[in-house]
Structure 1
Amino acid sequence: MGWIQMLEKTYDACEAIVGKKVNEDPILLPISHSTANAQIEVTIDLKGKFMPALSGIIPKDGEDKITIIPVTEDSASRSNGSCPHALCDKLCYVAGDYSLYTNEDKTEYYNDYINSLRKWTSSEFSNKWLQCVYLYLKKATLIQDLIKAKLLVLAEDGFLSENENKIQSVAQKDAMVRFAVWDNGEKHELWKEPEMYHSFIEYYKTNLHNCNIDYVTGEKIQCSEKHPSKIRNSGDKAKIFSANDTSGFTYRGRFANREQVASIGYETSQKAHNALRWLLARQGKYIDGEMTVVWKLPQNLKEKDSNLALDVVDLFGDTQETFLADFDWAAECRDEDDIELDRKFAEKLNQAMAGYRAKLQPDDEVIILSVDAATTGRLAVTYYQEVPGNEFIDRVLHWHQNCTWPRWIKLHETKKWVFINNTAPSPNEIALAAYGTEQEKGYLACSDKLKKTTIRRILPCIIGLSPKIPADIVKAAVNRASNPQAYSSFVWQNCVAPVACAMIKYNEFDGKVNSMELEKDRSYLFGQLLAILEKVEERALYLQESKTDDRLTNAKKMWNVYTRRPAITYERLYSHIVRAYLKRLNPGARAKIENEIMQIINVLRETDGFNNNPLNERYLLGYYEEREKLMKSKGEKSNEGGEE
């Protein structure tokens, strides 16, 4: 099923909450409606009289400033010229006396608006509230009444003040007006009334005459030529479907007209766009201009439940932070609490996934959709995938359990660092590890385009459609991890190397093994040797420099050469540098390290692996695992050795 059909079905499933405010969620708009920031609220009684006491200026930061307004295809995408909305609009449209109080002649705008409103009022779909508004506005005294009510202010020249007395940072003459009606002791806010929504929808359907084949449903119905914008936010002008170049090369040689390119039913387009706009605002993830949303389609599409469970399973790594925020371990050093943290993290992850699974029916579909704009006017669906609900949770859990490597994580809320053994890197972290460069403030950054492209390629790996992480991404991360001199110690050890190791491990085992028991091949063993050599030098320097020096070791300086010619580089490091440093340790520690080195060398020689052939990426696994073991060993204590 295509993304348009899926969005349309989602809209139909949520019909019970269309136009309603549910908790703190954004409003799912009715079809033929859009949103606008209104500045002035005008209240009218049933006789069409202005009620100044119930009218007023809408607060700029008020919760109720967003107004749902009925729109036509033309008015929703208007740019210049006279093109009125159906009811709520700017003063130049709704005020018949606009030209008397400004230096602009907008009589045409008002005439077009009032004639359009008269047609709606005269239709079989009209109601008493609409008739009250029309009865008042045709008097053409709106600005006069607002001035008398001291809601608008005149300048000395008798025109509306422009630079001063702005309303919500908008000039008075450009203010948007919305309407309410006082009926039987109750104020009816027309932008919230379902009866008003239904009235305009049914009326506007009778004005659609572009009957054509809907490419989505295959039926011959009223189709749309101008599709909605404001998809990512209220100021977004980019459209997914747009064709306005009739004189250039848009159709030439391929199509005769725009309908041959794509013809979509009006209701189909409205429902799909409104559902997408609502989902992105409700639970979309914004990454450098690209927005991604994950939702589930309810099994029973006819169910009218205002509490539909469109739950997000976080594919971007914040799930880990949410779970970790519950723990209050200090992160200054590692201790026995690390084991408890790992256990509780795993429990929280499994509980969360079990909760998601319980809300999914066997036939449910989980949908992942991303949109991005290359220009200000064109929006594209950059990623779309449907996954069966009973498989989706298992696939996401599979990623979080198997693409893992030990590292420190900083919690955004508490600003604490915690060390955890079983955390998977987010797509954003993978992009930065593969292509990022360290900035002055100690964080990684890469181009937005490269980051978005990488994240888009990682998503199929998380939801199980691609069994392995793309080789070029892994290679890029390994290359950066093989150049530790380019990063500060902390960034390399916690943001670059462990992410590369997690990807290597995931690809090697196809994500099927949740174990740190790794095969110790030639590259892995040479990685272990590198970790030992580096640690010996660090310990000796630590003792020699009174525990204050943090300079780069010779092992790190020769890291890149070591990966290309490991045997000869090892011999040089050991004979010229490490052997001298070993003498500074106490006999027990020295003997233990020399014994471990000889064991690894013997295995390499027995398997004919002690040569200068370049190492593959598995050396990182051996290096990192050996380093973690050394850091946790008793030999790390400062009193274990001394200068001789």
Structure 2
Amino acid sequence: MSWLANLTQTYNNNILSVGRFETKKNGREYALIPVAHTTQTAHIEVHLDGKGNFVTAYVRDKVEGSTIIPCTEAAASRTSAPVPYPLFDKLVYVAGDFNQFCGDVKGTPYDDYLAQLKAWCDSPYSHEKVQSVYDYTRKGTLIADLIAEGILHVDEQGKLRDKWAPAPSQESIEKPPIFNVLASDQSSAFVRFAVNIPGEPEARLWRDIEVQQLFVQFYENSLVDMDICYVTGEKLPVADKHTSRIRHSGDKSKLISANDSAGFTFRGRFRTSREAASVSYMASQKGHNALKWLIDRQGITIDGKVFVVWGNQRLELPEPHQDALELREAAQELQGFDEDSEFEEDFDLGANDDKSSNSGHVAPAGDTTSKAFAREIKKAIGGYRYDGEHYAHVTIMVLDAATPGRMSITYYQDLNHEDYLDRLQAWHTSCYWQHRYRKDKDSQWTTFTGAPATRDIAFAAYGPRASDKLVKGLMERILPCIIEVGCELPRDIVRSAVQRASNPVGMEPWEWEKTLSIACALVNKENEKEGFDVGLNTETTDRSYLFGRMLAIADVLERRALGREEKRASNAVRYMNAFAQRPGRTWSIIQSNLQPYQAKMGTDARYYNSLLDEVGAMLSLEDYTDKPLTGLYLLGFYSQRNDLYTSKKATEATGTSDTQQGEDNDTQEEN
């Protein structure tokens, strides 16, 4: 039960946020829900006066309709049986004239609603606004009032319309708003109430903190079944049914459930569910409501699978799934740095260091480039370091539901705060490369060095049209590699990314460049002990790395000979897939196809020819075979190509300006 204890503690630490709405980037509202409450999307908002008289009503869409509603255990778990919510509910519960306009219903949902609301009004925890709602609803005229107000619409028989199907004479009439917000017929509309009382600042009952607190006290005093809580260790009122709607308002899946009360009861191990575990009502409510809030606030949801990370002392933490550029922007926002600050200058993510270091010299691990990049990542993550209590910790949780009614925690880790940041820093400084496929916060294309986002790794491995099922599966498999010590990257993911990067002809140029840099990051992580860097390593004798360098030289030479106007791929790029599988045989083909371009360039090709000879001489005679290349050839290809486009030595040898070379590089990457 450690996950529930952590969530309960998070709820208690953020008690001042209870009941207060916040807004997402998409405009949707969310809040840390009070105990004995849940959320629902309301379609109709009814305004009353202090004496329980109808004033007006409005139709609300999904953005405006987010509503915190009082909720009992029975109502939270209701299915087909009619169990009313205590204050706000569907028309079948709150409208006394429902049968008149919609036909007969099973049971007595309206009578049950009135009885439950009356019990609240008759208790010491009543409120005049709640009394106004009771006084109005017991009149039984809600649907008639909504029809008169133009909110609901009836057909020729005086019944609520199932759908909007205007007569020929009404085709010019605009579709009523109620039919735009409902997925089914009008009878399924959910109603919330606002009570306008002079001198009262808050008319909306779903935002009235006082009303919420009064219901919590009312309901808590009605709970009498006591037992030992496995979360708190205290003897408290026990929850028999636990909440759903964890991921969103329509989610019926539960994390805690025990309902096989017949046959093989609890799989034959226990007589009652409490022998397995008993959880108090308050712990269950606080824990589940805190989880809902965290998912809305900072969770990532893909195809129903939820990834959420939070700290018990500081909620805002760097996400393990974000790339280095997102980490940079989040750190800047957290620490309040502007674009001209010293932090911005230092946090250049290695772009300037790469340009200065890619001049043909050796750049092994520990070089200035690697040290500068590590320093930048350390500075970004350093803003999240916690100077308070030593027991600060971080929780990482992944949730998914295999069926509509059951949800499971598919991954869970509870780490010390400093350990989490250290492992995140280790990930960003080992699985990194230079990338140019992201836009910054000003929507400008930017070059950054760092780890790619796990979602982008999925697209590199499986293609941009990868299903959400594939993406969420890969993100969950990569997660332990980021936050657990000694967990290696899944080899099939690295292999798939390398294979796609080796087939540029099957992709658009921008997609290939993105796949290539991400594949290089994965290969670099897989071979982190070798100490490869974005800067060109001119001393390694690794066969695959050297063949990759030769392929890059052939590619750049042909691109120079073709000029900027020619957009077609070079022979080196076209034969890249075959070259990775059979380098010895394929290199002879590439070299023969390269001769016309060498002749066309004349003396301008001298530097490239000598560089080819120099790299080729580093290969032994036994290396010129058709043994397939490892992923390290991509590192050699990328680093050599990057060096040729940025090296001053190459510029002086070919007589091409730095600007011209940069433009050629941009053209190659963007087209």
Task: Please tell me the TM-score bracket, short chain as reference.
Answer: 0.7 to 0.9
CA distance in 2, matches of 1:407, 1:161: 57
CA distance in 1, matches of 2:460, 2:636: 19
Q: Quick one: which amino acid aligns to residue 46 of structure 2?
A: E
Kept after mapping to 1: 8 A contact 2:96/2:141: yes
Change (3 A) 1:573 1:178: closer
RMSD of Structure 2 on Structure 1 (CA): 3.8
Q: What pairs up with 1:3-82 in 2 under 5 angstroms?
A: 3-21=3-21, 26-38=30-42, 39-45=44-50, 49-52=51-54, 55-61=55-61, 65-82=65-82
Kept after mapping to 1: 8 A contact 2:39/2:69: yes
Quote the residue 1:616 is aligned against.
Answer: 630
Quote the offset at 1:172 in angstroms.
5.3
Task: Give 1:231's match in structure 2, choosing from 235, 246, 251.
Answer: 246
1:563 aligns with 2:606: no
Change (3 A) 1:12 1:89: same
Quote the residue 1:424 is aligned against.
Answer: 451
Quote the residue 1:470 is aligned against.
Answer: 490
Aligned to 2:215, the other structure's residue is in SS state helix
Kept after mapping to 2: 8 A contact 1:99/1:107: no
Change (3 A) 1:238 1:590: same
Kept after mapping to 1: 8 A contact 2:52/2:132: no
Quote the offset at 1:552 in angstroms.
4.7
Aligned to 1:239, the other structure's residue is in SS state coil
CA offset digits 1:495-535 (Å, max 9, x no partner): 22211111221232259887746544222222212222333
Quote the offset at 1:628 in angstroms.
1.4
Task: Give 2:544's match in structure 1, choosing from 517, 520, 523.
Answer: 523
Kept after mapping to 1: 8 A contact 2:303/2:468: yes
Quote the residue 1:503 is aligned against.
Answer: 522
Quote the residue 2:118 is aligned against.
Answer: 118
Quote the residue 1:283 is aligned against.
Answer: 298
Kept after mapping to 2: 8 A contact 1:323/1:345: no
Quote the residue 2:362 is aligned against.
Answer: none
Structure 2, unaligned runs of 5 or more? 165-175, 331-337, 341-349, 356-368, 662-671
Kept after mapping to 1: 8 A contact 2:153/2:160: yes
CA distance in 1, matches of 2:232, 2:272: 20
Worse overlay, 445-454 or 119-128: 119-128
Quote the residue 2:420 is aligned against.
Answer: 392
1:316 aligns with 2:330: no
CA offset digits 1:74-101 (Å, max 9, x no partner): 2123222321111222333233344345
CA distance in 1, matches of 2:177, 2:152: 9
Q: Quick one: which amino acid aligns to residue 397 of structure 1?
A: Q
Change (3 A) 1:514 1:364: farther
Quote the offset at 1:630 in angstroms.
2.1
Q: What pairs up with 1:210-609 in 2 under 5 angstroms?
A: 210-246=225-261, 251-260=266-275, 262-298=277-313, 309-317=314-322, 320-321=325-326, 323=328, 339=352, 352-357=380-385, 362-411=390-439, 416-420=444-448, 422-436=449-463, 444-463=464-483, 465-466=485-486, 468-492=488-512, 494-509=513-528, 516=535, 518=537, 519-540=540-561, 542=562, 547-553=565-571, 555-574=572-591, 576-587=592-603, 589-605=604-620, 609=623
Kept after mapping to 2: 8 A contact 1:295/1:310: yes
Quote the offset at 1:240 in angstroms.
2.2
Kept after mapping to 1: 8 A contact 2:41/2:249: no
Quote the offset at 1:199 in angstroms.
2.6
Kept after mapping to 2: 8 A contact 1:362/1:390: no
CA distance in 1, matches of 2:567, 2:241: 67
Change (3 A) 1:522 1:151: closer
Q: Quick one: which amino acid aligns to residue 298 of structure 2?
A: Q
Aligned to 2:458, the other structure's residue is in SS state helix
TM-score (norm 1): 0.81
CA distance in 1, matches of 2:278, 2:160: 45
Worse overlay, 273-282 or 397-406: 397-406
Kept after mapping to 2: 8 A contact 1:399/1:511: no
Q: Quick one: which amino acid aligns to residue 391 of structure 1?
A: D
Quote the offset at 1:472 in angstroms.
2.8
Change (3 A) 1:567 1:98: closer
CA distance in 2, matches of 1:538, 1:21: 57
CA offset digits 1:559-617 (Å, max 9, x no partner): 3443344345434543x333454333223x443333222322333238x6455544322
Q: Quick one: which amino acid aligns to residue 121 of structure 1?
A: C
Identical pairs, percent:
36
TM-score (norm 2): 0.78
CA distance in 2, matches of 1:398, 1:506: 10
CA distance in 1, matches of 2:587, 2:62: 68
Kept after mapping to 2: 8 A contact 1:44/1:179: no
Kept after mapping to 2: 8 A contact 1:321/1:411: no
Quote the offset at 1:416 in angstroms.
3.8
CA offset digits 1:22-57 (Å, max 9, x no partner): 576721101111122331324242xxx3334xx322
Q: Quick one: which amino acid aligns to residue 586 of structure 1?
A: G
Quote the offset at 1:253 in angstroms.
4.8
CA distance in 2, matches of 1:204, 1:398: 49
Kept after mapping to 2: 8 A contact 1:146/1:152: yes
CA distance in 2, matches of 1:568, 1:400: 38
Quote the offset at 1:211 in angstroms.
4.3
CA offset digits 1:532-567 (Å, max 9, x no partner): 233334444x16xx94251451x3444344334434
Q: Quick one: which amino acid aligns to residue 256 of structure 2?
A: F
Aligned to 2:620, the other structure's residue is in SS state helix
Kept after mapping to 1: 8 A contact 2:39/2:68: yes
CA distance in 1, matches of 2:152, 2:519: 63
